[in-house]
Structure formats: structure tokens, C-alpha cells
Amino acid sequence: MRPSRLRVALAQVNYTVGDLAANAAMVVERTRTAVAAGADLVAFPELTLTGYPPEDLVLRRGFRSASRAALEKLAADLAAEGLGDIAVLVGYVDDADGPRNALAFVHRGDVVARYFKHHLPNYGVFDEQRYFREGYRFVVVRHRGVDIALTICEDLWQDGGPFTVAGRLGVGLVVNINGSPYERNKDDLRLPLLRRRSAEAGAPVVYVNTVGAQDELVFDGDSMVVSADGTVVMRAPQYVEDVYLVDVDVEAARSPIDAPAPQFVDMTVDRHESADQRPSADREPIEAVCAEPLPYEAEVWGALVTGLRDYVRKNGFRSVVLGVSGGIDSAVVAAIAADAIGGEHVYGVSMPSSYSTEHSKSDAAELAERLRAHFRVVPVAPMIDQFVSSLSLTGLAEENVQARVRGTTLMALSNAEGHLVLAPGNKSELAVGYSTIYGDAVGGFGPIKDVPKTLVSALARWRNADAVHRGENPPIPENSISKPPSAELRPGQLDTDSLPDYEVLDPILERYVDGDQGVAEIAAAGFDATEVERIARLVDHAEWKRRQYPPGSKISHKNFGRDRRLPITNRWVE
Amino acid sequence: MRPSRLRVALAQVNYTVGDLAANAAMVVERTRTAVAAGADLVAFPELTLTGYPPEDLVLRRGFRSASRAALEKLAADLAAEGLGDIAVLVGYVDDADGPRNALAFVHRGDVVARYFKHHLPNYGVFDEQRYFREGYRFVVVRHRGVDIALTICEDLWQDGGPFTVAGRLGVGLVVNINGSPYERNKDDLRLPLLRRRSAEAGAPVVYVNTVGAQDELVFDGDSMVVSADGTVVMRAPQYVEDVYLVDVDVEAARSPIDAPAPQFVDMTVDRHESADQRPSADREPIEAVCAEPLPYEAEVWGALVTGLRDYVRKNGFRSVVLGVSGGIDSAVVAAIAADAIGGEHVYGVSMPSSYSTEHSKSDAAELAERLRAHFRVVPVAPMIDQFVSSLSLTGLAEENVQARVRGTTLMALSNAEGHLVLAPGNKSELAVGYSTIYGDAVGGFGPIKDVPKTLVSALARWRNADAVHRGENPPIPENSISKPPSAELRPGQLDTDSLPDYEVLDPILERYVDGDQGVAEIAAAGFDATEVERIARLVDHAEWKRRQYPPGSKISHKNFGRDRRLPITNRWVE
């Protein structure tokens, strides 16, 4: 091999599931940018044309064949637009020989090669074995004199796959396209993994991930290029949609294109070549972006803002409405919403009942003012009183009816004015069932449903401090952060009347819910066994409520959604 | 081989997910019955000890090891109870070499053999590749001189699996244990399939299925024995829990137990033998049950009754509450509930508003009387008026608030009195979003959520006719069946104001929802293209509502639950 250089464009883009025409148009536009910058190839994320994850749409024959047709049309359109000379790597659903999660190499109007994903994840939120057949061929395309190996997402995470083969065979570059959902601390895993794989492949690895959100999944991007010696040559900022350029030093191919694969390569090798084998132009190298990953709270906040913004935008809403109680949860949700779509599109509703404290009303008003959000007060006591007297309600029934009158009020405002209703529940509450179904659980989206209460507080403090740091007004009233949590459904009620402190509760929940640990295992880690047992039962008994909770952005290893599939009817007690 | 006979007991039992101790105790009790009847072996359904499907419980290490421990304890308990001489075939989760969907052959206190399911279904409601590793060994156990091959559920549905090997190797009997959920017309598939497999195996096949329900899944039993020539030797009645006995003519083994497998068998063969190789006792054959499958409506009704009964019972409820509007949906749900748990545990609530007609109130009262259900009238106009005037509601917002005040009323009664709330929505409504979320969609269970409206009517007529046939009073007021469907949310409102006739709508929905057909494909079958297009969009836009709907019994090929996993954010339009 001999040294060469390729100018690579990483298209860290935001697509929409099902919108094949718009996604294809976006590919054309972003390719235009890459061409203008002189790139030799541009790589788009996993399932670019269909969006990811398309879920059961893949079971529809019409959808699968539309995806394949969209690819053929895209190849022709790129050539017709004068964008044929760049290699375009784009994900799509193939259908010619069973449904496949596929990556096409497009050049001069032709689909030069198609790679089918080998490793189909079928854990966590992923169900790819439900949809796709596994690929088993190693695909390498020679372009501008460089052998480029194609891989998709999970192929990176499994040992002994195409990266090993790339190393044995000798290639100049490996491209890995991704729809890799955000999880807290996941970027701590990505870079070491990429370093391992690029060493294995003996070549730089181009890792392209999507940004944006799809229902519960948020994609942070974090696209990068890592050279064989582990150097990060380029790293894109998280959550920012753009085309990122980098000149990558590669080894040019020396073996003839029809050379047989060595015997020790235990995978069928498909070799292709594009119509352009001129070496890449010799020119001044460009300076690539090398962003640092965001600090912890900023990264989580970014995920929550992105998740909400895309849910609103991609589902055709323009505004959101939520109940603002003066408490921290609704304050954080409102602040996320203001960051996502602007305070002028956020409608806060204070719904005081006879048990609401004065400060809860004033804190809510202050929040709205700081966010420049709309604000109104709807006294719900008359509706509550009517229910309580008509049905002679007391105790839990009376507490719940307050929350349900508020939920009904928000839905009425949504019906009348067209806002998306946001549910303010956090993960700790959802876990133990500390919420009223059809009450505060009402909504089309639950922005913090995967955020434990202690992290809600940390985010509130971080967001305020960050504002101060930038010379802005902190969005969340200090009082909402500092006062003890209360549902205010009876006089003097506090969360700690029925739950342990969140500093105690959250670590137990993290082990029981996210970690699938048993009661004995958790107690052995130093927690009070009786308390753990009680918490575990609360979690188990709230499963039916969670099943009816709105979707919300996943930020943890295991969210309450596609990630955690427990039976409602369940007598398992350890 | 030489002719022999085995007395086989098929334990068509109802277990509870997660209740390992109770499930094991049930195995002991049912084994006692089998022993008393002189059986040589008794077979229990798939995952007997854990219940099926245990879903993400399998991801917990504590659960998996508890399952394996429960099996060891069961083997010892059976022997201690003097039940060691019978072979007991029982399903459980194995964990010694990765999580497995396993079948144990227990005899005289020992686990003689363990078979691991080969084919792990990962489609429809099934996610078994998420949980289990595939088995690849063929397991045959010689007992009382007969070679018995072990298989589990999906092994029956896939070609080229253990049944083929059984045929090549020559065995006396194949046992197949199942957790096979009910679907309309599924029993039309089972018998022909069993005939094919028993011919392939050249031996009788014992097919044991569970009865009862687990969340959305109903199990109808339909356990049977089919001989190699296709004769149904025994067939259990659907939905009836019992131990069914049959003398099966089998060929005794002649080859030595350590004979090597012929070369043309391309699967690892594990041979085991029990401690009892005496031929089965020579005695007067018993007459086996040979039930006919139920007629169509009776079978569906049985599924709905079983589904609701087990959801109530296994979740610790004793009573249900529902709004009775005088319409057919709530009438059918109330009748199912009365059949499931007795009319005395059913609480009907009439909640007339100013748009309710006189006949709707009297029809509701008559329904309750016929079912001997509790009945009360809660006028909801005062609560509705309070909302309408406080929030100045009109149009859709006013319509919806009526439904939500009713939902809140039912939840308040549930909170106060402890009943499970039933949601009366049918599949046609759910499909097109013709329901009010947090209104009539409120409930812990939706008994007819998978029943299209036309089938709801057919079931109502069938249930009444069946009552007459048995000399009983028909449970559903004729008026509720014959009047045109209306939500009564504004004066003179009819479903057909905004929807086509259900006779037109349901076949379109069947193709679009259950059949994954596209608009063009449906139009090509003779439906109006514009109408199909409109219906398809209604279905797509209601996804977010369905995601928050309560669970309900699955009776179709594809229900709105684990079966159909579509994105909410979805711009796919064909």
C-alpha cells in the first residue's frame, strides 16, 4: 500500500421516519455541500432514506419496495444534479432478497455496491431480528484508488465481524453508518470501541451517526473519524446537524481488484470498484472540527431538548401546554420546552385547588415570566367540588379527582387551542406509581419520564448556573428548586410522607429498574432490605399505569418503554 | 419396533406468570390425578413453572436461577409425595448454559433429560430471541421401552426441525408442549399442521397447550394427540382446565440405547433413559375425550370471557365497573364480564348528560337487570356544565369533556370501591381514533379492544340466541343491538356522520391493520381509493392514542399491542 488522502464528508443529519421523499431531497442538498467542499465521499447515517427505526413499517411490502425505489431515484437525481462524481454512502431498506438493513455505495448514477448489516440487535429497544435478514458478505469498494469497507452500526459492537475481516484483508478505510440512540455515558463507550475496531481493521474508521429524535429515541450524533493508531482525527459536536469535513490519511490499494481473498478470511468477500480510480486531488488539508463531548448535565439537557423539539416538530405541533404547579418537575419541563421551541410557544396553566399553597401559585407565575411563556390561572376548585359532592369522595379518591380535573382541563385547552399537552412526571415517580393516571399523567409527551428526581434537581441547578454563566436570567425560580417536593393534594402533604428521600430512592430504583437486580442483590449492596422490598413491590404494582403513560425521551440504559417489557399480570416476588 | 401402548395424561392447565411456587404446587396436584388414572407420563404446557410469556423477567438473573431451582425442588417433591414413578414433562427457564426455553423430563426424583427449544419465534407478539439462546440438540428419552422425543411449541411450526429428525431416527412418540395464544381461526391451522408433523415423525404427536390468559394473550388449550396416520386420538375441549387421558398406540424401541445415530441425521442426538423400562401395564383402554372445536362465535366469546376473567382474578380484583350507555359496546362488555365473574360483581354506571336520549338510559337499566348487575345513575351534567362554563368550551372540546367527566367519575368510583374499570372500545373505533383519550378510553382492561364492530354485533346476536337456545333470558336488550351506533356527544349524532358503515369500514381495516396492505393494494381489491386513503390516514394519526389505551384480549392475527409496533412519529404515506 502507499499513502494517500481522501476528503470525507460526514453528514450528521436529522431525518424523519417514513418521509422517503424529504429524506432523499435532504441527501441531495447535503451532498451538494460536500461537493462544494471538494469531498471524495459523503456518508449518511443508518437507514437514511426511511428514517430509523421504522419499526413495523418494514413489514409492509409497499414500504420496502418504496425504499428500494427511492434509492434508485436518488442515484439518478444525484447524477442529474451534477453530483455524480462524489461517492454517496446512504442507508435504506433493501427488499430484493428479503428485507435488509442496507448501505448503498452510489456513484455516477449507479448503485455500485450494497452492504447488508450483519449483526441485528434484538435487545433493549431494538427488534431488528423481527424485521431484517442478516447479511453475511463482506463488501469492499475501491474508489479513487482506496479500498473502502462498508459496515452498519451494530457491526461495530460485536466481536469477530467485518472489522476483523477488514484487518485480515487489508483495506484503506472502514465506513460505519449509525442510528445509535443516546444514553447517559454512552459516549464513554463509543470512543474506546472505535479505537479497538480501527486498530483491528488497521485503517481509519469513519463513524457517522444521526442527530435528532424519533418518538422516545434521541440521537446525539457524536460522529467521528478515528485513525488506526487511535487518534481522533475529527469529532462532530453533539446534537448539531451539519456536514463535517475531514481529510483522512489512508493507504491506497495495491493488489489487483480481482485478487482472490486469502484463505484465512472466513467470510465471502464482494469486491467492487467505482468508475473513478484517479487519486484524490492533492491540495491544502482542511482543518477538521474536533469537538469535546458535552459535560454531563449539558449533554442530558441537550438530549431532552432535542427529544421534545423533534416530537413537536415532526408531529406537526407548534406549541405545548402544561400545568405549572410551582414545583420543580413542571418548572424543568417548561424550561426544556422553552429551550426547544421558544417560550412564546409554551402555555403554562396554573390550576390552584383549595390545597394549593400561595407560593405554588406565585412560583408558577414567576416561572412563566422568566421563560416569556404564556400564563393563565384556571381555578379548578369549582369542578373538583362538584365531583366531590356529587360522588361523596374522600381520601385517595378525592386526591385523585383533583389531578384528573386538572388533566381534563389541560386536554380541553389542547382541544380548543391545538397545543400538545406535556406530562411532567419524572422516572422516580413513574417507577413507584406516584402519579395519578388520567390526571398528571395526561399528555402527548413526557419530556422527563426517563429522568430520576435527583437528576431533575441537578439539571435545574445546572440550567440556572449555565444561564448565569452566559449572563442570562436563570429560567427556574430558586424556590421551585429548594422547596421539599409535594403533590399538594391534601394539606401539608410531602412526597416523603410515603416515599423515602429521593437520594435513597433513586439508587435503589437504578439497580432494580435499570440494572434488573433482585431485592437480595440490592440489599447486599448495603440498602435496607425491608425498604428495598417495599420499593420493588411499588414498582411492580405500577406497571399497568406505566403502560398507559405517554412516550418521552430515553436517556437511560433502560427506559419505561420499548426497553422494559414486563408483564402487568406478574406474581414474581423474589 | 413392536406395538406397545402408553397411557398419556395431557395437563391442560392454567398457570400464573411469576408464581413459581404455586405453579409447581399445581404440577404436583395434577400429577396426582394422572397417577390415580394410571398414566405412564404426564405432559404440562410450555414454561409451566414460570408461566408464559414471562417477558423481561427472564432478563433477571434471580428469576432464571429461581426457575431452575424450582425444577430441582419439584423433582424431589414429586418423589417425596410418592409420585416418582410417572414421567413428568414440564417446561421451565434453564440458566446453566445461557437462558433457555426448556423442557425437563422428570422421573423418580431425577431430571432425566433437558430439551432446549430450537426455534425461537421473534414475530407478532413474540420476542423470544430477545430472551433465549437457541437449542440445537435432539433429545430423546426411553421410558417404559418407548423412545419419546421432546419438542416445544414453535418447533412444530418450522420445517426441517426435530420432527424431521424424529422421523429419520425412528421414535415411538413425540411430545410438543405449548404456550400457543388464541387467534381467530387458528385451530384451522393446528390440526393440519399436527397431521403433517406426525406423518413426518412417523409417530403419534402429543400436543399440550395451556388454558387461561396472561395480559393480552388468551390460551384456548385445544390439546390433542394425533397418530402417525393423522387420526385424532384425543382432543380436549377449548378453555377447560383439566387433565385429559388417552391410551396411545406406539412402537416400542428395539435398537440398543447406545446405538449411534445414522449418518443422515444432521443434528446432535442426546439419548437418555429413565429408570423404568417395564412395558406399560396391559389393561382395558380408557375412552379418550374427542371434543369438537367450538363454533366461531362461541370460540371468540370464550376467548373474551377467559381473557377478562384471568385479568381480574390474577391481578387480585373481585369486581369491575363500567359506564353503560345503552349502546352495544358497553352492553357486550358487561355481558362478557357477567359471564366471566358473575353479574353480582359487575357495577354498571349510567352517566346521562344533556345529550343522552331517554332510550339510552332505559336500555342501560334493562341491561343491568338482565345481567343481575349493580346499577346506579350518576348525572354528570353538573360537572360538565362547570367545565364548559369555566373554560368556555365548544365543539370538539365540549364533546370530549363529556367523555372525560365520565372517565373521571368511573375512576373515582374505582378508587372509592376498588373495582377494575373496563374500557368499552372496540377495534374499529381504536383503529380510526373514534374515542376520547382519558374519556371512554379510561380503564385497566379493554375486553373488546381487538373485536371489530361488526363482530361485536354478531357476538351480541349470538350470545342472545345461545341464551334462548338454553332456555335462558337473553342478556342484551334488543334495542341496544338494533339502534344505529352513536356516541351521543351532541344532539342526533351518529357514527356514520363521520365514518363509513362498519360493514364497509371493517374489511378495509382488516386489510390495512391486520394485513399490512397498502392503500393501492386495498383499492385494487375493489374498495373506493379515496375512502381507503382517508381511513388509512385516520388509522395512522390515532397511533398516539392507542399507545395509551389499556390492554385487552387479543383475538386477531394482529392486535393493537405487542403485535403491532408502529412509530407515532411517522410520515409514511403510500
Q: What is the mean pLDDT of residues A67-95?
A: 98
Chain-wide mean pLDDT for chain A?
A: 95
Which residues in A lie closer than 8 A to residue B562 (C-beta atoms)?
Answer: 565
Nearest CA in chain B to A60: B516
Predicted local distance difference test score (pLDDT) of residue A532: 97
Q: Determine the distance in angstroms separating the CA of B68 from the nearest CA of chain A, rounded to an integer.
A: 14
Which residues of B are marked as active site? 46, 117, 153
Rounded to the nearest angstrom, the gap between the alpha carbon of residue B66 and the centroid of all alpha carbons in its chain is 26
Q: Does A382 touch chain B (CB under 8 A)?
A: yes
Q: What is the pLDDT of residue B257?
A: 87
Name the A residues in 286-345 with CB < 8 Å from any B CB.
Answer: 310-311, 314-315
pLDDT at A513: 96
- CA atoms within 13 Å, Cβ hemisphere of B537: 7
> Do A137 and A100 contact (CB within 8 A), yes or no?
no
Shortest Cα distance, chain B CAs vs residue A90, angstroms = 19
CA dihedral B74, B78, B81, B86 (to 10 degrees): 170
Would the CB atoms of A569 and B66 count as touching at under 8 Å?
A: no
Q: Answer whether A408 sits within 8 Å of B412, measured CB to CB.
A: no
Q: B22–A401: do the CB atoms touch at under 8 Å?
A: no
E strand spans, B415-536: 420-421
| Cα end-to-end distance, chain B, whole Å | 60
Cβ neighbours of B568 in A, within 8 Å: 215, 315, 551
Neighbours of B547 (CB within 10 A): 19
Query: Cβ contact (<8 Å) for A17 and B401?
Result: no
Whether residues A62 and B574 touch (CB distance < 8 A) is answered with yes
pLDDT at A19 over 90: yes
Distance to chain A for B571, nearest Cα, Å: 5
Distance from CA of B483 to the nearest CA of A (A): 30
3-state secondary structure of B371: helix
Residue B212: other Cβ atoms inside 10 A: 24
Chain A, 431-450: which have a CB under 8 Å from a chain B CB?
437-438, 442, 444
Instruction: Give the span between the Cα atoms of A6 and B350, in whole angstroms.
Output: 74
Residue-by-residue pLDDT tens, chain B, 574 positions: 578 999 999 999 999 999 999 999 999 999 999 999 999 999 999 999 999 999 999 999 999 999 999 999 999 999 999 999 999 999 999 999 999 999 999 999 999 999 999 999 999 999 999 999 999 999 999 999 999 999 999 999 889 889 999 999 999 999 999 999 999 987 788 999 999 999 999 999 999 999 999 999 999 999 999 999 999 999 999 999 999 999 999 999 988 888 887 777 789 999 999 999 999 988 898 999 999 999 999 999 999 999 999 999 999 999 999 999 999 999 999 999 999 999 999 999 999 988 888 888 899 999 999 999 999 999 999 999 999 999 999 999 999 999 999 999 999 999 999 999 999 999 999 999 999 999 999 999 999 999 999 999 999 999 999 999 999 999 999 999 998 888 888 888 888 888 899 999 999 999 999 999 999 999 999 999 999 999 999 999 999 999 999 999 999 999 998 999 999 999 999 8
Residue A263, helix vs strand vs coil = coil
Complex-level ipTM: 0.95
A20, A569, A573, A574: best mutation site toward chain B, by most B Cβ within 10 Å?
A569
- A-facing residues of B in 541-560 (CB < 8 A) are 544, 547-551
Q: Which of A315, A442, A569 sits opposite B569 (nearest CB)?
A: A315
Contacts of B127 in chain A (CB under 8 A): 122, 127, 130, 565
Determine the pLDDT at residue B118: 96
Read off the pLDDT band of A564 (50, 70, 90): very high
A22 interfacial to chain B (CB closer than 8 Å): yes
Chain B residue numbers with beta carbons less than 8 Å from the beta carbon of A444 are: 544
Chain B residues whose beta carbon lies within 8 Å of the beta carbon of residue A518: 60-63
Question: For position B1, what pLDDT does the model report?
Answer: 53
- The interface residues of chain B toward chain A in range 68-127, judged by CB-CB distance below 8 A, are 122-123, 127
Which residues from chain B sit within 8 angstroms of residue A24, using beta carbons? none
Give A114 to chain B, closest Cα distance, Å: 24
DSSP designation for B218: E
Q: Looking at chain B from residue 171 to 190, which residues have their Cβ under 8 Å from any Cβ of chain A?
A: none
DSSP states of B139-191: EEEEETTEEEEEEEGGGGTSTTSHHHHHHHH--SEEEEEE--B--TTTHHHHH
Judged against a pLDDT cut of 70, whether residue A1 lies above it is answered with no
pLDDT attached to residue A441: 97
Q: Model confidence at A571, in pLDDT bands (50, 70, 90)? A: very high
Largest CA distance in chain B: 88
Which residue on chain A is closest to B213 by alpha carbon?
Answer: A569
Q: Give mean pLDDT, residues A374-383.
A: 96
Take residue A206 and report the three cell numbers written for it: 469513519
Q: Which residues of A touch B548 (CB under 8 A)?
A: 548-550
- Given an 8 Å threshold on Cβ–Cβ distance, is A66 in contact with B574? yes
DSSP state of A500: -
- How many degrees, rounded to 5, is the angle at CA B434 between CA B431 and CA B437? 100
Does B130 contact A at CB distance below 8 Å? yes
Q: Which residue of A has its CA nearest to B312?
A: A569
Query: Shortest Cα distance from B56 to chain A (angstroms)?
Result: 5
Q: Is B16 on the interface with A (CB under 8 A)?
A: yes
Give CA–CA dist A100/B406, Å, rounded. Answer: 48
Q: What is the mean pLDDT of residues A30-55?
A: 98
Do the bridges between strand B87-94 and strand B137-143 make them parallel or antiparallel, or are there none, so unpaired? unpaired
pLDDT at B203: 98
